[in-house]
Amino acid sequence: MKILLISILFTATAFGGSMTINTTAQQDARIVEAVGAILGLGRDATGPEVKAWVIQYIREGVQDYERRKNQTQFVPLAIDPN
């Protein structure tokens, strides 16, 4: 695998575009090994497994950011104990 080309298509409502990541053969070897280990596969990850992992990684990162952002903006409602 000379170049691992990962095309990540996002829904139009989320980003309205696509993202392509080009890697070298040396990076490919590192990526598939690392993702396979992260996923606990006991082998190198396949291209589709890497793609799914990258998409999930981005989703989780954005959701984490949004959660932390919302926590800093959160103001509890005043509750009358009576």
Give me the chain's average pLDDT, please.
80
Structural Rg of the chain based on CA atoms: 19
pTM: 0.66
Give the tokens for residue 49.
């497994």
Contacting residues for 10 by C-beta, under 8 A, at least 6 apart: 16, 17, 18, 19
pLDDT > 90 fraction of the chain, expressed in percent and rounded: 43
The whole-number average pLDDT for the span 25-52 is: 94
Give the ranges where 1-82 is alpha helix by DSSP (H). 25-38, 47-73
